[in-house]
Amino acid sequence: DIQMTQSPSTLSASVGDRVTITCRASQSISSWLAWYQQKPGKAPKLLIYKASSLESGVPSRFSGSGSGTEFTLTISSLQPDDFATYYCQQYNSYSLTFGGGTKVEIK
């Protein structure tokens, strides 16, 4: 099984900050990586797919990069609506694995 390790698990930041979340795969997954945002009591929302493709309707302050085993999600200027938990997810050989999540809190 491919394991996904996200860091940090919690991040404290202020509005306007640049925020970076990292996700590492236990083996190469090419670009088969997605990022999600989840708010309390809600289903996750797709932000990024294929490692760096922005889902339609998602603000351009969100960006993804990486390939192979190391990936990042960047929020260029944190907005009040962005305080949430973020998950990465890999897809390989019809199997999915999620990272443990990163909670972005208000500093």
Partner 1 sequence: QLQLQESGPGLVKPSETLSLTCTVSGGSISSSSYYWGWIRQPPGKGLEWIGSIYYSGSTYYNPSLKSRVTISVDTSKNQFSLKLSSVTAADTAVYYCARLDTIFGEIDYWGQGTLVTVSS
Binding partner 1 by CB under 8 A: which of 50, 54, 63, 84?
50
End-to-end Cα spacing for the chain: 36
Binding partner 1 by CB under 8 A: which of 31, 52, 67, 72?
31
Cβ neighbour number for residue 25 with a 10 Å cutoff: 23
Rg of the chain over CA atoms, in angstroms? Answer: 13
Nearer to partner 1, 17 or 91 (CB): 91
Output the smallest distance, CB 103 to partner 1, in A: 11
When asked if residue 43 is in the footprint of partner 1 (CB under 8 A), the reply is yes
Nearer to partner 1, 20 or 31 (CB): 31
Structure tokens at 33: 């990586």
Output the smallest distance, CB 14 to partner 1, in A: 25
Residue found under tokens 């795969």: 25
